[in-house]
Chains A and B, each alone.
Chain A
Amino acid sequence: MKKSKVSRRDFLAKSAMGAGAAAALGAVPTAAAAADSAPGMPAIRLADEFVKSHSEEPIAFEFGEKGLSGAEVFARACKAEGLAALFCCPGNYTVINSISAAGIPAFGGRIEDIMCAAADGFSRITGEVAATSGTEGPGFTNMIMSIASADRAHSPILVLASNMAMSNEDRIGGIQQMYQQPITEGIKKYGKRITIPNRVHEYAAHAFRQLKSGVPGPVHLDFASEVSGARFKDASELKDFYEKSRYRTESVAYPAAKDIATAVEMIQKAERPMIVAGQGVFFHKGWDALKRLADKNEVAVVESGPVRGHFGDEHRLSGNLAADALGSVDLVIFVGQYLMPNVGEYRFNPDVKAIRIHPVPEDLGRNWPLDLGIVSNEKAALEALADALPKRQRAAWVAELAAARKKFEDQNDEYYALGLKYSQQTGTIHPAVTGKVMADFLYRGSIPKEQTTYVQGGWTGAGYTRRWMRAYRPGQFNNAPYQFYPIGPDVGHLLGAGAAMQLGTGPQKAYQGSPVFGFTGDAGIAYSIMEFDTLTKYKIPAIMTVHNNNAWGMITAANTVRSAHMYLFQENLRYDKIAEALGARGEYVTTPDQYKAALQRAYDAAARDKVATLINVQSSRQFLTNAFPPGAQPRNIEPGVTAYSH
């Protein structure tokens, strides 16, 4: 191997030639790598070209002497629509190159599926459209898990993938050819293989109309090479080349006056009404109206869905921690609950009166019988209700909510005490302790509790940590595996969250630059650990705790001795060392005190040097069994902080 002759001083001098955004990225070897590289061995470092590529000015794609390619026409439309970010792996070259050249923030990673999850994670906590892209067959098929997950979360992500030339259809010539659209059937809101070059702008319009209207969801476009590579001298060569103000509308559905009157009557008749505020309240920015309504008439609010924080956990009317109060609710109002639970999956009385507010009528009445369905944009309906409802106090209901919250917190303390005992007995860390230590650090220490955006991944450990992690402002909490429950793409979601914080997108603007935190399991980390390279490359200050219990979470399904080996990993694996090998920091802890100290070191490195850290928390799979009650199933019910399936 040829030894590097680039000293740290030379590297810094060279990288100083970069300018603008390059300076923000900081052309230095990663902190961990710089400290650990052995004498004579080359240090992990960013390529000079990486730094330079961020110093080039964006291109405003306009028709000139050279005209525009199909890919450039598409990138122009994306820029005009405010596409917030692109997360991709190479492939679909002309399109991703054009999007990046247009000045849309782009992040290149290692695994298509995880970059797709990053787009989903970005979109969930910002409410903005993010794109993802990969190469034709393998890159695209690698994305499927995260496309499906985004579909269940109703995230407005734009899935792009190059595809074979039309001239090669049905020939299987060359490599990587396949038909994409049938594969995303059932896991997208809209999709199209674009085959007619002069309709590329028209289909960009189709895509953004779907992404920005009604109920959000993934849109999948694949480009025949004849489309992305076509050239157009001027706009007259393109079909339906309108600007966005003419191809879609910002108008939304407003509630009918009679529906609001009926809803007001039902709310007034109820003693213990509760709003289930799903992700639609966040995506359509209805949080101020929601608070106004709740405060005015003392209607309780419980959050559910893939993103939380639009009402917050500490509000006196919050039902997020008030599990025992859910059974008392006599009127439930679903607002922006895009994926409806079945009766029983939410802890309300199955006979509870129910109102649902939804942007389109087609889904009203699905899964849960309704007494009133209202077609309306969430924010518009919440504002109308807040205006129409009288002031009212519901002292008994507020007291019941407070008592239920206390009971929940008391049970958390019980679980923590048990977890601490189990941790001391085993020399490992119980997930109830992990949750408590992390929550103390983020919400009860020196960091403002509203600051940190958190990604909740994992499975068995998450059953405990969800109980501890909080949301105090919109977009603070991403319930990463929500509903589809893919194990693994959690580092992707963390990358998406970190990119949103770095860019200060949407409601994350107030906390721009802050480190992000996440939690995953040892099964999950294997799927996405390589993106620590991406986190490090883009200097995203992210801290991921890995609950390492040496097994798949579903070890509990191994019902014979003979089958157990299939569920087990090697014990005490050092995921922290992998992170270090990728230029990030690694920590390995086996006691609560070690974990607490590791969190502080990780935060300091993140805040100071923009370095990512993986904290490998050694736990035990025995905590999943009834030998350590409550085992794998602490008291978790939905909706609220412990929800994950709806």
Chain B
Amino acid sequence: MIRGFLFALALGILGGVGFRAASPAADDRVPYSAASVARGKTLFLQNCQDCHGEDGKAQGSAIAVAPDLTRPEVWKYGQTDDQIFSNIRNGAGDNMPPFGPLGPGLKDAQIWDLVNFVRSIGPESKRPKS
């Protein structure tokens, strides 16, 4: 049974690889701005607050143990804009689900809005100048 499970898991991991997307093209990036942050906030409330909380601090834990998005130092899967984008679009680790084509179907521009919103609630030192 264990053997069967490991085989199944291996198949699953291999099967999953095909859904990983490459890094986004640089020209898709949405610049940091108040308008983008506002759009990102709406998307965040609609897609992210169940796990990360309304304020991004993930203080509720009924559904998932999610990281505090206001503290980049506790993030496990990278802190750069491209890494945040990829984590949202394609998922991260076993449990951060994809929100791109295989998740809620967010467009790349929307995901950049989310990246900008996440930056807006994080430390000012990591926030791009608008």
Contacts and interface: CB of A to CB of B under 8 A. Distances in A.
Contact of B95 (A342, A556, A620, A622): A556
A347 B46 contact: yes
Contact of A626 (B4, B11, B49, B96): B96
B45 A629 contact: no
Contacts of A626: 16, 91-98
A630 B12 contact: no
Contact of A628 (B15, B63, B93): B15
B94 A625 contact: yes
B98 A629 contact: yes
A282 interface: no
Interface residues of B, number: 35
A233 to B, nearest CB: 54
Given A342-B54, A625-B94, A630-B97, A559 B65 contact: yes
Interface string A618-646: 00101011111111111101000000010
Contacts of A347: 46
Nearest to B17: A627
Interface stretch (B22-30, B78-86, B100-108, B118-126): B100-108
A397 interface: no
A428 B9 CA distance: 12
Contacts of A411: 105
Interface string B1-15: 100110011011101
Nearest to A636: B104
Interface stretch (A76-84, A110-118, A174-182, A419-427): A419-427
B105 A556 contact: no
A630 B20 CA distance: 11
A351 B76 CA distance: 35
B91 A629 contact: yes
Given A422-B12, A426-B11, A633 B45 contact: no
Contact of B12 (A425, A554, A645): A425
Nearest to A426: B8
B106 to A, nearest CB: 10
Given A344-B54, A626-B93, A629-B91, 12 more contacts: A343-B45, A344-B46, A345-B46, A350-B42, A421-B15, A485-B62, A557-B95, A626-B91, A628-B12, A631-B94, A635-B104, A635-B105
Q: Which 9 A-B pairs have the closest CB atoms?
A: A344-B45, A633-B97, A627-B12, A426-B8, A625-B94, A425-B11, A626-B91, A557-B65, A556-B95
Interface of B: 1, 4-5, 8-9, 11-13, 15-16, 19, 42, 44-46, 49-50, 54, 61-65, 91-98, 102-105
5 contacts: A428-B8, A626-B94, A628-B12, A629-B16, A637-B104
